Structure 1
Amino acid sequence: MTIKAIGFSGSLRKASTNSGLLRCAKANLPAGMELEIVDISAIPFYNGDIAASDRPAVLIELLAKIAAADALVLACPEYNYSLAPALKNVIDWASREADNKVLNGKPVAILGAAGGMGSSRSQYHLRQVCVFVNLLPLAKPEVFANAFAGGFDANGNVIDETISKNVAAQMVALQAWTKQLQK
């Protein structure tokens, strides 16, 4: 059985190192796993008025993809010691579906690139959000990449072998975690 995951990046920049981590994950998947990278830049900020009336097609499509996925891969940049609003916004939208059915019990891998400690603070904050919406984050391996230490090219692509190996190991672990939770 193929594990189908979707990933999205909280950074909306074209040359985002967090999007680069997702591309690295997709390029280093174990056999029996697929990853679709979804652009979340057109998703409107959560608004209860929109939620109750006319949802844009891009939002409806994203929520359907999240619901159909076996697992999520969240690339989490760090903005002011916390997660990016774009990433939190998608989680907020998805959590508003009836009975939290889109997120409830879904396995998730979290990885990220930022300065200094490589998005560790924002990832730990994201793990707190996961508790409330009952996403089930993979405990290990953690992937914290310093976005400014030469591990990425000018387009945000991973060029560091250690980062690539860490991301690949995380995808293997996510596959195993997802299979374990599906039993």
Structure 2
Amino acid sequence: MRVLGIPGSVRQDSHNRKLLRAAAATLPSGVELELWDRLAELPHFDEDLERGPAPAAVQELRDAIAGADAVLISTPEYNAGVPGVLKNAIDWISRPFESHPLRDKPVAVVGASTGLFGAVWAQAEVRRVAAHIGARVLDHELPVGLADGAFGDDGTLSDPEQVAALAAVVQALVDDARVLEKA
């Protein structure tokens, strides 16, 4: 089984990339996490670009989602909302609306931010948009606040309670994907 991890930040050392790596460490046996961290390569969504073949990065993201059993999105929060690059990716993914690769795909959203609340507003917004476009969105969240101090030097989450909460979100995502697999 394969989970696609999408960090909502383009910064190489982002807290949300670290959070996805921490999630990978909690995966059950036989499940792998593939990181898709090329949001910066996606062009701004433009319906004019839909008239021809999809831009290469857009097609690669669509293919990566289509080939995954589930998707785990880790989002920061910029100005009390979802980062533009992540929203842009979701806009591209949602086309064509009737048959996009995220439709009926299990999706979980977690987040880390340097503020106290751990990107809860951005997580809620990503869940809302993903549900609107037809993804099977899990009603879980994991806010990792004060993220500058939440990770050890090795990139792992420092708080055992957050590690356990992250493992629970990941397990729920894997369980939902397995339910679909059996259907």
Query: What is the TM-score of this pair, normalised by structure 2?
Result: 0.89
Displacement of 1:44 after TM fit? 1.3
Displacement of 1:148 after TM fit? 3.6
- 1 CA distance for matches of 2:172 and 2:128? 21
1:35-56 Cα shifts (integer Å, max 9, x gaps): 1001122111111122222433
Provide the aligned C-alpha RMSD in A.
1.9
Displacement of 1:153 after TM fit? 4.1
Per the alignment, residue 22 of structure 2 pairs with 24
Detail structure 1 runs of 4+ shifted over 3 Å in the superposition. Answer: 153-157
Per the alignment, residue 106 of structure 2 pairs with 107
Q: Of residues 25, 33, 36 in structure 2, which corresponds to 1:35?
A: 33
Per the alignment, residue 48 of structure 1 pairs with 47
Q: Where does the alignment leave 5 or more consecutive residues of structure 2 unmatched?
A: none
The alignment covers a number of residue pairs equal to 180
Query: What is the TM-score of this pair, normalised by structure 1?
Result: 0.89
- 2 CA distance for matches of 1:154 and 1:42? 29
1:28-85 Cα shifts (integer Å, max 9, x gaps): 2111311100112211111112222243322211111111211100011111111111
**SS of the counterpart of 2:41?**
coil
1:107-155 Cα shifts (integer Å, max 9, x gaps): 1111000111111111111121122101111123x21101346212468
Task: State, as a whole percentage, how many aligned pairs show the same letter.
Answer: 36
Which amino acid in the other structure matches residue 12 of structure 1? Answer: V
**Pairwise mapping of residues 53-68 of structure 1 onto structure 2 (< 5 A)?**
53-68=52-67
